[in-house]
Amino acid sequence: MSDLLRVDGLRKSFGGVTAVDDCSLTVAEGTVTALIGPNGSGKTTLFDLITGYRKPDAGRVVFAGRDVTGRSPGPLYRAGLSRTFQQARVFPQLTVVENLVAAAGHRWWHLAAPRVSAADRRRAETLLAEFDLTGDADKIAAELSYGRRKLLEFAALLMSAPRLVLLDEPTAGVNPVLVERMEQHVRSRHAAGVTFLIVEHDLSFVMRLCDPIIVLDAGRPISEGDPDTVQADPRVLDAYLGG
Amino acid sequence: MRAAGMRAAGVVKGGLFVLALAVLPLLGLPHWVLNMLVFVLMFAALSSAWNLVGGLAGYPSLGHAAFFGIGAYAFALLLHRQAELTDGWPPFAWLPAVGVGAALLGVPIAAIAMRTRADVFAIVTITLLFVVQTLAFNLRGLTGGAQGLSFPVAPFPADTFERPFYYVLLALLVLAMLLTYGALRSKVGLALATVRGDEDKARGLGVPVAGVKVLAFAVSVGLTAMVGAVWAYYQVGIIYPQFAVDPLVTIAVVLMAFLGGRGTLWGPVLGAVLLEGGQQYLAYEIGASQFYLIAYAMIFLLIMLALPRGVLPSLAGRLR
Amino acid sequence: MHALVQGLILGVLTGGVYALMASGQTLVFGIMKVVNLAQGALVILGAYLSYQLFVSYGIDPFLAIPVTTAVMFALGVGVHLAFLRPLRREDRAELSLLVTFAVALLIEGVIGVVWSTTRRSINTSYANDSWTVAGYQITVVRFAAFALSAGALGLLILVLHRTRFGRAVRATVQNPESARLLGVRAERVAALGFGLGAATAAAAGAVYGLLYPFNAGSHYDLISLLLSIVVLGGLGSIGGAIAGAMIISVSSAVVASTISPSWAPMTFFVLLLAVLLVRPQGLFGRPA
């Protein structure tokens, strides 16, 4: 299995704080890889660096064999690398269908194309059916509950047929029923060939779903392996309990 | 299909609207009514144009009056130098040139000013407004400065003087509304809506954020300049800098869009009808300029605080 | 050469006054993320208040400052409570521009009603005195204005760095969420911050009235200048406001004295665009 994503020596500091410190890791294609670690270990910053929302001070990001260090999120999205945000970000004043269509990664220069064409609608409805959001199709996104907005955010980026999806705390603030649905969707998409890198705090979710698991502490990986190995690693316990 | 039915209804509604407006001047109404209608149309067109960048894109420009003034002066200059340049051409034929010229001027300004957040953008546009006004006063050789710029009076018969302006402004309003309608129903509108909703996320999804913003701005100021040109011609033979480049024009236009509902198709038009009618009434009743200003400001504040979404969206929300 | 240095001197002295006005503006932005388009009108109101105190009671504008600042501090807090606090958070950024502009118009209207539209100026006994230093002219008023502004700015910075209120303000500017968690009452800081902004306008207004003739409509020119300054310097940064004021004031004055006064306003617009081109967040601002 080849490495879909490789991160080499990434570094990012804010003022005096080094959030990501000489971080190197790989994500093999076809895996559901987890990225865990105590608060402040740099996970979201790492996501920001990989997806182009922030520029690294040093290091490289290689996606599908191409060096994409510092490139902006838009082109990366089109190339198949997408992400969700910790606080689910959708377009609040647009309908659910419009949110999906906006994320489809169009060639926008077909400016005169209809806002939501029949073809767009069909694709959106297929996805909505899969995510059991059909009833919400024409609701304004702001009217959805937080958990459903997270599902929407996830569903939307699938419209662009990504190769690698970065999920930033997909279960945070979501009720257990929706957590289970989230897990199912990750599994089914994984079976269809999508690779995942998931940042999570819910360790039982991680242990059920993910392999391998990478543990981050103070901006760099300190352990990696399958769930059992990582659970048994004393350094991981130290990181979570220690100062 | 429901959607096609709605679209047909919309077209019929629009057609009736235009027809009704087209017929009005032929009904022998008194001059002061026609004059008021000319101004209502003018503000409706301006507000619809502003709506493209301030409502659809979510970038509230507070300097549109600068482009109004640029259009006014450009047209006045054209007329001033009539013999050399416009020989044989009917003056209104030059409007598209004014519009395109202003749009082109708007492109670099938008490209720089819209790289920043929306409030910084507003600031840059305000600054542009005052710079243009100051230049209008200072570049005496070009604009005549405070003395004003004079040009040959429009050669239309006195008893139907308002008519040509009325129809040209109606045409501009229809153009503005057609462009808004087209934008709302196309991918451009979706792109603009994402920019308005969450610009960073939109950029992250590959939406050409910079491109659509600049496009919206350029079209908006092009339309605005054309209206300014028509206004200039309507002034009998002379325009002055403090009226051609007037911050109150910007504020009126913005307020109308806000009142009617920014981001909607009919909102700016509704706002213009309500506010321009109200403004004319206020000016008539109160007259003395400073009280007028206070009343205006108070109404303004009331609207902002009570109806932050505007009339049409509030009604739509209640009906849902 | 002489014109250049004279322009420089003029620019620096005037820059101090603008720095004071701009600091109030940028402070309000830093706290509330609100662009206060009424700041220019507040300065002019301050000028009128000083004028009235001078004309009615013979009080020198500099001496009247404690009174005018206190009055306008209260006014600022009042404006915030009446017009800004009622706005919902998601509307606030967009609507505050229009609301503060309406407040500016309101102030302009009230000034016009109370004082009519004739141009005023504060003509103290020393209004026309000047010193000649090394062949360059320095008017007493301008120098005193600069000194006052520098003092007031120093006081402002002291308040921000040495008082509890000041710390609360700085915390809110840097990170509103954390500040709230630490017990800072955001709405209170916002109201007081707006009042502080109005107070700086009062002080600046007193000296502005000594330097230039003014009337109700003068706030338009002022606000566009102030806005350019705070954007250039970086919204929310007081150091930026000072730097921006100096840069714009000096370059405008130099252009006016060496090339022509007509092109001076263009200078600051060009500068603004140039800086935004390279650094959209302004000189000292934080990237979006």
Domain ranges of chain A: 1-80+162-243, 89-161
Q: What is the CA radius of gyration of chain C?
A: 19
Q: What percent of chain A has pLDDT over 70?
A: 98
Nearest 10 degrees: Cα torsion A106, A107, A108, A111: -120
pTM of the model: 0.84
Answer whether A114 sits within 8 Å of B198, measured CB to CB. Answer: no
Question: Parallel, antiparallel, or unpaired for β A3-14 and A58-63?
Answer: antiparallel
The answer, yes or no, to whether residue C61 has pLDDT greater than 60, is: yes
Which chain B residues touch C97 with a CB distance below 8 Å? 60, 62, 119, 122
pLDDT, residue B300, reads 80
pLDDT, residue C70, reads 95
Q: Which chains touch C (3 or more CB pairs under 8 A)?
A: B
C7 within 8 A of C258, measured Cβ to Cβ:
yes
Answer whether A110 sits within 8 Å of B202, measured CB to CB. Answer: no
Distance between CA A26 and CA C102 in Å, rounded? 56
Which chain B residues touch A94 with a CB distance below 8 Å? 190, 193-194, 197
| A224 membership: H or E segment, kind and range | strand A220-225
Answer whether B305 sits within 8 Å of C87, measured CB to CB. Answer: yes
Residue type, A102: A
Residue type, B285: E
Answer whether B297 sits within 8 Å of C109, measured CB to CB. Answer: yes
pLDDT, residue A175, reads 87
Task: Name the minimum distance, in Å, from the CA of B293 to any CA of chain C.
Answer: 5
Answer whether B204 sits within 8 Å of A74, measured CB to CB. Answer: yes
pLDDT, residue B1, reads 46
Task: Name the minimum distance, in Å, from the CA of A201 to any CA of chain B.
Answer: 24
Distance between CA C267 and CA B131 in Å, rounded? 9
pLDDT, residue B104, reads 95
Which chain C residues touch B60 with a CB distance below 8 Å? 94, 97-98
Distance between CA A201 and CA B215 in Å, rounded? 44
Residue type, C248: I
Task: Name the minimum distance, in Å, from the CA of B89 to any CA of chain C.
Answer: 35
Number of other residues whose CB lies within 10 A of the CB of residue B204:
24
Q: Which of A52, A72, A112 sits opposite B186 (nearest CB)?
A: A112
Nearest-5° Cα angle at B240, B239 to B242: 140
Condensed to tens digits (0 to 9), the pLDDT of residues B254-312 reads 888 988 888 899 999 999 998 887 777 767 666 656 677 788 788 888 887 887 777 77
Q: Which of A53, A72, A108 sits opposite B187 (nearest CB)?
A: A108
B194 near A CB under 8 A: yes
For residue B120, give the chain C residue with the closest CA. C231
The answer, yes or no, to whether residue A234 has pLDDT greater than 80, is: yes
Distance between CA B3 and CA A116 in Å, rounded? 12
B134 near A CB under 8 A: no
Task: Name the minimum distance, in Å, from the CA of B167 to any CA of chain A.
Answer: 28
Q: Which of C102, C221, C281 sits opposite B300 (nearest CB)?
A: C102
The answer, yes or no, to whether residue C74 has pLDDT greater than 80, is: yes
- How much of chain A is in helix, strand and coil states, percent to nearest 5? 40, 25, 35
Which chain B residues touch C95 with a CB distance below 8 Å? 304, 308
pLDDT, residue B160, reads 78
Q: Which of B186, B198, B202 sits opposite A113 (nearest CB)?
A: B186
Task: Name the minimum distance, in Å, from the CA of A187 to any CA of chain B.
Answer: 24
Condensed to tens digits (0 to 9), the pLDDT of residues C83-124 reads 888 887 767 777 788 889 889 989 998 998 899 888 888 888
Pick the CATH number of C2-122+141-278 from 1.25.40, 1.20.120, 3.40.50, 1.10.3470: 1.10.3470
Answer whether B120 sits within 8 Å of C231, measured CB to CB. Answer: yes
- What's the farthest any 2 CA atoms get from each other in chain A? 60
B47 in a domain, yes or no? yes
Exposed, middle or buried, C288 (CB in 10 Å: 0-12/13-18/19+)? exposed
Average pLDDT per block of 10 residues along chain B, 320 residues long: 65 84 81 86 95 91 92 87 61 88 93 79 83 82 79 78 88 94 90 90 89 94 95 85 83 86 90 84 67 81 80 73
Answer whether B206 sits within 8 Å of A110, measured CB to CB. Answer: no
The answer, yes or no, to whether residue A171 has pLDDT greater than 80, is: yes
Distance between CA C224 and CA C25 in Å, rounded? 12
Distance between CA A151 and CA B126 in Å, rounded? 42
Q: How far is CA B288 from CA A67, B245, C42, C49, in A?
A: 68, 21, 23, 23
First and final CA of chain B: distance in angstroms? Answer: 21
For residue B307, give the chain C residue with the closest CA. C87
C232 within 8 A of C272, measured Cβ to Cβ:
yes
C35 near B CB under 8 A: yes
* pLDDT category of residue C216 using cuts at 50, 70 and 90: confident
Distance between CA C214 and CA C132 in Å, rounded? 27
Distance between CA A219 and CA B71 in Å, rounded? 57
Distance between CA A86 and CA A168 in Å, rounded? 5
C22 near B CB under 8 A: no
Q: Which of C88, C106, C227 sits opposite B126 (nearest CB)?
A: C227
Which chain B residues touch A75 with a CB distance below 8 Å? 206
Condensed to tens digits (0 to 9), the pLDDT of residues C128-176 reads 788 887 778 888 888 888 999 999 999 988 988 888 888 888 888 877 7
Q: Which of B186, B190, B200 sits opposite A98 (nearest CB)?
A: B190
- The range of the structural domain enclosing residue B127 comes to 28-246
Answer whether C109 sits within 8 Å of B291, measured CB to CB. Answer: yes
The answer, yes or no, to whether residue A8 has pLDDT greater than 70, is: yes
Q: How far is CA C35 from CA B197, B279, B284, in A?
A: 20, 27, 34
Answer whether A105 sits within 8 Å of B202, measured CB to CB. Answer: no
Answer whether A115 sits within 8 Å of B206, measured CB to CB. Answer: no
Q: What is the residue whose two structure tokens read 């459903």?
A: A148
Q: Quick one: CATH architecture of A1-80+162-243?
A: 3-Layer(aba) Sandwich (3.40)
Answer whether C87 sits within 8 Å of B298, measured CB to CB. Answer: no
First and final CA of chain C: distance in angstroms? Answer: 41
Tell me the average pLDDT across A18-35: 89
| b/e C182-195 (16+ beta carbons within 10 angstroms → b) | eebeeeebbbbbbb
Q: Which chains touch A (3 or more CB pairs under 8 A)?
A: B
Answer whether C269 sits within 8 Å of B131, measured CB to CB. Answer: yes
Phi, psi (degrees; rounded to nearest 5) at A179: -60, -45
Q: How far is CA A142 from CA A132, A152, A206, A234, B184, in A?
A: 18, 11, 29, 44, 20
Structure tokens at C69: 């600042």
Nearest-5° Cα angle at B167, B166 to B168: 95
C286 near B CB under 8 A: no
Structurally, how many domains does chain B consist of?
1
Q: Which of A89, A98, A111 sits opposite B186 (nearest CB)?
A: A111
- How much of chain B is in helix, strand and coil states, percent to nearest 5? 80, 0, 15
Task: Name the minimum distance, in Å, from the CA of B24 to any CA of chain C.
Answer: 34
Question: Parallel, antiparallel, or unpaired for β A32-36 and A213-217?
Answer: parallel
pLDDT, residue A106, reads 75
- What's the farthest any 2 CA atoms get from each other in chain C? 58
Mutate which of B47, B120, B255 to disrupt the C interface (most C C-beta within 10 Å)?
Answer: B120
Rounded to the nearest angstrom, the gap between the alpha carbon of residue B86 and the centroid of all alpha carbons in its chain is: 26
Full strand arrangement of the beta sheet holding A164-168: A81-83, A164-168, A195-199, A32-36, A213-217, A220-225
